[in-house]
Amino acid sequence: MTWHHRRDLALARAAEAGCSALLITHPVNVRYLCGFDGSAGALLITPDRVVLATDGRYVQQAGIQATDCEVVQTRDYSAALLDIARSAHLSTVGCEGDHVSWNQHARMSELGVDVVATSGLIESLRMVKDSQELDYIRQACSLTESALQATLDAVRVGITERELARIFSSAAMDLGADGLAFDPIIAIGENAAIPHHAPGERALIHGDVVLCDVGASVGGYCADLSRTVVLGSPSPDLIHIHDVVSRAQSAAMAGLAPGVAASDIDQLARDVIAAAGFADKFIHGTGHGLGLEIHEPPLLGASSAGTLGEHFVVTIEPGIYLPGVGGVRIEDTVLVTSNGYESLTTGTRELVEISV
């Protein structure tokens, strides 16, 4: 899909919302619509013009990346672009209500243009991945799995969470990632009961569980992968909990298909965990969309609205967390296909026992 086609779809959605133009200020959405990945700028899309506003630090980059856009150098991106809209007599300009503060919107409204808030307009387009996006995500997933294996190969008594996180980060970059999708989550022992634990100086001892939640990015697109391993032989309780989580993930994956409610996928996983007596230990949603951002629509939770569509990419990541003891999470990045799903992360989901 070309930048031009994406912008045409965006304008069509804007027209449905009563807008004759769009002001895009969220950096990820600017990138999605024109290719510019600088951290400062905004994009105006009208039926006749596409104008990218940025400051002097990024003008050259904008000219290289956003080749089919006019580039305007300014420090006041929104004001400059809304002045263009006003001069073109555009009646109503849609702004990104989810990414514009109250004060920013108030200031925009003083610039002589009718500015109305839209919600999720570009994000809804981003949920459907094209072939180039899927290629980047596949590469990111493959690279993430290789970097995780390099990390697990380094597991030994005495190594710390922080050291393992550094090993993953270094391996991912060495393998060709253009960045990390998020800071690695490496949780040892009792810390594995904290879903988003920040790696610290907890050192590994025999019998510890290690929860790894990691992801690299390629072409700006993210991967997300969680595996739970144990140093030495696992306890019967750990084997049982891992089996419950594995069955919950399998049930959720089996339910994936276009038209299925996002909340139904969450319920499939939750039912398995509840039946095993751990309902109150599954303390987050079953998954989320990902792409240019690590967390993006759709969310797969109990209160999630909407349905899945073909070419959506989501995670399936049920977990059980026992405070003071540890936890288990199994997560894969999955593509929704016309008749089900394809897992883009393909490594073993078994409870891996690492020899000491």
Tokens for 142, please give them: 């493959």
Each residue of 310-350: pLDDT tens digit?
999 999 999 999 999 999 999 999 999 999 999 999 999 99
The residues facing 300 across adjacent strands are 287
Q: What is the pLDDT of residue 105?
A: 87
Domains, the chain, in order of start with CATH, read 3-125 (3.40.350.10), 131-354 (3.90.230.10)
Each residue of 68-110: pLDDT tens digit?
999 999 999 999 999 999 999 998 999 999 999 989 888 888 8
Angstrom CA distances, 337 to 128, 265, 314, stand at 11, 15, 11
Tokens for 151, please give them: 């990390």
Does residue 114 contact residue 23 with C-beta atoms inside 8 Å?
A: no
Each residue of 160-217: pLDDT tens digit?
999 999 999 999 999 999 999 999 999 999 999 999 999 999 999 999 999 999 999 9
